[in-house]
Amino acid sequence: MLSYALRRLAMIVPVLLGISVIVFLIMAMIPGDPALAILGSFATPENTAQLRQDLGLDRSLIEQYAVWLGNLLQGDFGRSYSLNRPVLDEVTERLGPTLLLAGASLILCTILGLAAGVVSAVRQYGWQDKALTLAVLVGLSTPSFWLGLILVLIFSVGLRWFPVSGMYAIYGGGGLTDLLHHLALPAFTLAVVATGVIARLTRSTMLEVLRQDFVRTARAKGVTERTVILRHALRNALVNIVPIIGIQTGFVLGGAVYIETVFQWPGIGRMLVTAISTRDILLVQGGVLVVAACYVLINLAADLIQHMLDPRIGT
């Protein structure tokens, strides 16, 4: 198990390296000059050239990449020129809120998705199944950015149950209650699509597992239906569901871009959108790398959980 984890961990490095190359290449293709972006309406050829030199933009792409990589190995992510601060500072500051949002969504979509899927499977063709299937379908088909707008309209503006935006109350905020209060709407909005995916998968996997012989064995032992469903069937279904939850992380992290925009969540997704548009290469590099690393690690965690759940998979 440990050696497997370490082996998988080692495989992450080349993947991240590849990602950084891709990002660098893509960013190099983006039209527009960061020096111009910094200087804004007041750029002149002289100060632009000076700035390009200061930023090292006059060097070749390979040189730029090598310098970046060298610094990275020393823990230096470089300095964001659009924000005028170290990339690492900004990225770490932004990563927390995103992970919080994505984490809350993942937990929410896992709980809701599993619950809906299990109920749906157990009550197959019953009214609960039909209602849940319909709800899941609508959830899967909803543009999350649109849903976010509507939820704000109803729950924040109309009913005033939840705050409109941000992560903490602007004055005297802080604390878990305040955070949950702010987290509820964005986390829910972000979770809707993933909930649908997980619910569907859970339903079909549960239906498959419930047909298997060991479920009949469990029933023949006289254990209650609750034990049959949760202890026997669901646990076996989880073996197939957990990796998909891992993959959902990618969609949740992607969807966070919209949700962070709609709810003004101070996360990394929104930072990256801005960074891409201002051609802040180092910030994009740092941000994408960190997000990708999180994604890969979460998937690794999902794999390890799958390993823990299923003794049959060799380590």
Partner 1 sequence: MTWKNGWRAACGTLLMLMALGASPASAQVPDDVLVVGQIAEPKSLDPHAVTATNDFRILMNLYDGLVRVRSGTLEIEPALAETWEVSSDGKTYTFKLRQGVKFHDGAPFDAEAVKFNFDRMLDGKHPQHDTGPFPLAFFFSAIERTEAADPRTVVFHLKEPYAPLLSNLAYPTGLIVSPEAVRKGGKDYGRKPVGTGAYRFAEWQSNTKVVVERNSDYWDGAPKLQAVIFRPLTDANTRLTELLAGGLDLMVEVPPDAVDLLGKAGGFKFHEQAGPHLWFLILNTREGPFKDVRVRQAVNYAIDKEALVKGVLQGTATVADSIVPAAFEWAHDDTLQPYPHDPDRARALLREAGAEGAELKFLVAEGGSGMLAPVPMATAIQADLAKVGFKVTIQTYEWNTYLGLVNQGLVGKGDMAEMAWMTNDPDTLPFLTLRTDALPERGGFNSGYYSNPEVDKLLLQARQSTDRDARAELYRQVQRIVREDAPWAFVANWKQNAVTTERVQGFELQPSFLLNLAHVSKAAQ
Partner 2 sequence: MTATTTTLPAARPGTWARFGRNQLAVAGGLILAAVALLAIAAPLLPLPDPNATDLPNRLAPVFSAGHLLGADHLGRDMLSRIVWGTRVSLAVGLIAAVTAAVIGSTIGIVAGFCGRWVDGVLMRAIDMLMAFPYLLLALAIVAALGPGLLNALFAISIVNIPFFARAVRGVTVGLKRRDYVAAARLSGQGNLTILTGEILPNLLPVIVITFSTTLGWMILETAGLSFLGLGAQPPQADLGSMLGEGRSLLLVAPHIALIPGLVILLVVIGINLVGDGIRDLVDPRLASGGLVRPGPATAVACDAIRQQAGNPAAPDAILSVRNLRTHFLLNEERYKAVDDVSFDLRPGECLGIVGESGSGKSVTALSLLGLVPTPPGVIVGGSIRYRGQELLGLPLPKLQELRGNRIAFIFQDPLGTLNPLMTVGEQIVETITRHQGVTHAEALTHAIGLMDRVRIPNARDRASAYPHELSGGQRQRIGIAMALANDPDIIIADEPTTALDVTIQAEVLKLLQDLRRERDTALLFITHDFGVVSELCDRVMVMYAGRIVETGTTAEVLRDPRHPYTRRLMACVPVLGQPERALDAIPGLPPAVNHLPPGCHFADRCDRVIDRCRIGSIPLEDLGPGRSSRCIRAFEP
- Of 201-240, binders to partner 1 (CB under 8 A) are 224-227, 229-230
Q: Does 173 bind partner 2 (CB under 8 A)?
A: no
For strands 85-86 and 79-80, give the pairing: antiparallel
* Residues 262, 152 contacting (CB under 8 angstroms): yes
CB of 77 to partner 2, least distance (A): 17
Binding mask 84-103 for partner 1 (x = CB under 8 A): xx----x--xx---------
d(CA 291, CA 281): 15
Binding mask 55-94 for partner 2 (x = CB under 8 A): ----------------------------------------
In this structure, the number of other CB atoms found within 10 A of the CB of residue 209 comes to 21
d(CA 285, CA 261): 20
Among 183, 187, 210, 302, binds partner 2 (CB under 8 A): 210
Q: What angle do CA 66, 96, 271 make, to 5 degrees?
A: 60
**Residue 96 in tokens:** 């927390």
Closest residue by Cα to residue 263 from 186, 201, 205: 186
**Judged by CB under 8 A, which stretch of 38-46, 132-140, 198-206, 250-258 contacts partner 1?**
38-46
Residue 51 CA, chain-centre distance (Å), reads 35
19 binds, among partner 1, partner 2, none (CB under 5 to 8 A by kind): partner 2
Among 1, 10, 44, 127, binds partner 1 (CB under 8 A): 44
Residue closer to partner 2 (CB basis): 49 or 138: 138
Residue closer to partner 1 (CB basis): 68 or 90: 90
Residue closer to partner 2 (CB basis): 47 or 156: 156
Q: Collapsing DSSP states into helix, strand and coil, what is residue 219?
A: helix
